[in-house]
Protein backbone atom coordinates (compact mmCIF):
# COMPACT_ATOMS: atom_id res chain seq x y z
CA UNK A 1 0.00 0.00 0.00
CA UNK A 2 1.30 3.48 -0.85
CA UNK A 3 2.32 6.10 1.70
CA UNK A 4 1.35 8.95 -0.67
CA UNK A 5 -0.64 11.81 0.84
CA UNK A 6 -2.52 14.81 -0.49
CA UNK A 7 -1.42 18.28 0.57
CA UNK A 8 -4.57 18.96 2.59
CA UNK A 9 -3.61 20.06 6.10
CA UNK A 10 -0.27 21.66 5.12
CA UNK A 11 0.46 24.73 7.22
CA UNK A 12 2.66 27.78 6.38
CA UNK A 13 3.88 29.95 9.26
CA UNK A 14 6.07 33.06 9.51
CA UNK A 15 7.66 34.88 12.42
CA UNK A 16 6.54 38.52 12.25
CA UNK A 17 10.02 39.78 13.14
CA UNK A 18 13.50 38.28 13.42
CA UNK A 19 13.18 38.55 17.22
CA UNK A 20 9.65 37.08 17.46
CA UNK A 21 9.33 34.08 19.76
CA UNK A 22 6.35 32.45 18.02
CA UNK A 23 5.22 31.72 14.50
CA UNK A 24 2.06 33.25 13.01
CA UNK A 25 0.03 30.94 10.77
CA UNK A 26 -0.73 32.33 7.32
CA UNK A 27 -4.52 32.19 6.80
CA UNK A 28 -6.28 30.37 3.98
CA UNK A 29 -3.26 28.87 2.22
CA UNK A 30 -4.32 27.01 -0.94
CA UNK A 31 -0.95 25.77 -2.24
CA UNK A 32 2.70 25.69 -1.22
CA UNK A 33 5.76 25.26 -3.43
CA UNK A 34 8.84 24.75 -1.23
CA UNK A 35 12.15 26.16 -2.44
CA UNK A 36 14.11 24.48 -5.21
CA UNK A 37 17.78 24.34 -4.26
CA UNK A 38 20.48 24.34 -6.92
CA UNK A 39 24.25 23.98 -6.67
CA UNK A 40 26.81 25.85 -8.71
CA UNK A 41 29.11 23.80 -10.92
CA UNK A 42 32.62 25.26 -11.12
CA UNK A 43 34.94 24.28 -13.91
CA UNK A 44 38.32 23.03 -12.68
CA UNK A 45 39.77 21.82 -16.00
CA UNK A 46 43.54 22.06 -16.33
CA UNK A 47 46.16 21.36 -18.99
CA UNK A 48 46.40 17.70 -18.01
CA UNK A 49 42.78 16.87 -17.29
CA UNK A 50 42.34 13.14 -17.99
CA UNK A 51 41.17 12.26 -21.47
CA UNK A 52 40.96 15.94 -22.58
CA UNK A 53 37.74 16.13 -20.57
CA UNK A 54 36.46 19.10 -18.64
CA UNK A 55 36.43 18.65 -14.86
CA UNK A 56 34.06 20.25 -12.37
CA UNK A 57 33.86 20.72 -8.64
CA UNK A 58 30.79 21.47 -6.53
CA UNK A 59 30.13 25.12 -5.78
CA UNK A 60 27.81 26.92 -3.40
CA UNK A 61 24.17 25.93 -2.95
CA UNK A 62 21.42 28.47 -3.55
CA UNK A 63 18.27 27.52 -1.62
CA UNK A 64 16.18 29.35 -4.21
CA UNK A 65 12.68 30.69 -3.86
CA UNK A 66 9.52 29.27 -2.35
CA UNK A 67 5.93 30.30 -3.12
CA UNK A 68 2.59 29.95 -1.48
CA UNK A 69 -0.88 30.98 -2.61
CA UNK A 70 -3.67 32.24 -0.38
CA UNK A 71 -7.28 33.28 -0.62
CA UNK A 72 -6.66 37.02 -0.56
CA UNK A 73 -8.66 38.94 2.05
CA UNK A 74 -7.64 42.61 1.97
CA UNK A 75 -7.00 44.05 5.43
CA UNK A 76 -7.04 40.78 7.39
CA UNK A 77 -4.17 39.87 9.74
CA UNK A 78 -2.38 37.81 7.07
CA UNK A 79 -2.56 40.66 4.53
CA UNK A 80 -1.16 43.11 7.08
CA UNK A 81 1.66 40.72 8.09
CA UNK A 82 2.64 40.03 4.47
CA UNK A 83 2.53 43.70 3.42
CA UNK A 84 4.59 44.68 6.48
CA UNK A 85 7.25 42.04 5.75
CA UNK A 86 7.29 42.93 2.05
CA UNK A 87 7.84 46.62 2.87
CA UNK A 88 10.51 45.99 5.49
CA UNK A 89 12.54 43.45 3.53
CA UNK A 90 13.26 41.69 6.84
CA UNK A 91 14.61 38.14 6.81
CA UNK A 92 12.52 36.10 9.25
CA UNK A 93 11.88 32.43 10.04
CA UNK A 94 9.37 30.58 7.86
CA UNK A 95 8.02 27.10 8.56
CA UNK A 96 6.08 24.60 6.47
CA UNK A 97 4.36 21.73 8.28
CA UNK A 98 3.36 18.89 5.96
CA UNK A 99 0.31 16.65 6.55
CA UNK A 100 2.48 13.88 8.07
CA UNK A 101 3.94 16.30 10.64
CA UNK A 102 7.35 16.76 9.00
CA UNK A 103 8.49 20.38 9.15
CA UNK A 104 10.97 22.47 7.20
CA UNK A 105 12.13 25.77 8.68
CA UNK A 106 14.18 28.38 6.84
CA UNK A 107 15.03 32.06 6.86
CA UNK A 108 13.52 34.09 4.03
CA UNK A 109 12.35 37.50 2.93
CA UNK A 110 9.20 38.23 0.96
CA UNK A 111 10.19 39.30 -2.55
CA UNK A 112 6.84 39.07 -4.33
CA UNK A 113 3.20 39.68 -3.36
CA UNK A 114 1.04 39.31 -6.48
CA UNK A 115 -2.69 39.80 -6.03
CA UNK A 116 -5.40 38.64 -8.44
CA UNK A 117 -8.86 40.22 -8.26
CA UNK A 118 -11.10 38.59 -10.89
CA UNK A 119 -14.67 39.73 -11.50
CA UNK A 120 -16.19 36.24 -11.20
CA UNK A 121 -13.92 34.17 -8.95
CA UNK A 122 -12.23 34.32 -5.56
CA UNK A 123 -9.46 36.82 -4.94
CA UNK A 124 -6.04 35.21 -4.53
CA UNK A 125 -2.46 36.24 -3.88
CA UNK A 126 0.80 34.48 -4.69
CA UNK A 127 3.65 35.23 -2.29
CA UNK A 128 7.25 34.59 -3.33
CA UNK A 129 9.96 34.29 -0.68
CA UNK A 130 13.73 34.20 -1.22
CA UNK A 131 15.30 31.60 1.03
CA UNK A 132 18.52 32.61 2.80
CA UNK A 133 20.87 29.91 4.07
CA UNK A 134 20.11 26.29 4.87
CA UNK A 135 16.83 24.56 5.63
CA UNK A 136 16.21 22.65 8.86
CA UNK A 137 14.14 19.52 8.41
CA UNK A 138 12.21 17.85 11.22
CA UNK A 139 10.87 14.32 11.39
CA UNK A 140 7.31 13.05 11.33
CA UNK A 141 5.35 13.70 14.52
CATH number of the domain enclosing 55: 4.10.410.40
pLDDT at 140 over 90: no
pLDDT > 70 fraction of the chain, expressed in percent and rounded: 99
Look at residue 116 in the predicted model and tell me its pLDDT: 98
The closest of 34, 125, 110, 22 to 76, measured between CA atoms, is 125
133 lies in a domain? Answer: yes
**What's the pTM?**
0.90
129 lies in a domain? Answer: yes
Give the confidence band of 139 by pLDDT, cuts at 50, 70, 90. Answer: confident
Q: Cα–Cα distance between 81 and 111 in angstroms, integer?
A: 14
3 lies in a domain? Answer: no
pLDDT digits (tens, 9 = 90+) for 72-117: 999 999 999 999 999 999 999 999 999 999 999 999 999 999 999 9
Range of the domain at 53: 11-137
CA 48 to chain CA centroid, Å, is: 43
50 lies in a domain? Answer: yes
66 lies in a domain? Answer: yes
1 lies in a domain? Answer: no
Q: What is the mean pLDDT of residues 29-38?
A: 94
Q: How many domains are there within the chain?
A: 1
Look at residue 141 in the predicted model and tell me its pLDDT: 65
The closest of 63, 11, 17 to 40, measured between CA atoms, is 63
114 lies in a domain? Answer: yes
Amino acid sequence: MTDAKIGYGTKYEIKATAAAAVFTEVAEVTSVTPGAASADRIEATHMKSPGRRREYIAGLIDSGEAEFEINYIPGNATDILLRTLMSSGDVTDHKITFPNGVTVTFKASITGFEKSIPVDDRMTATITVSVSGDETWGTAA
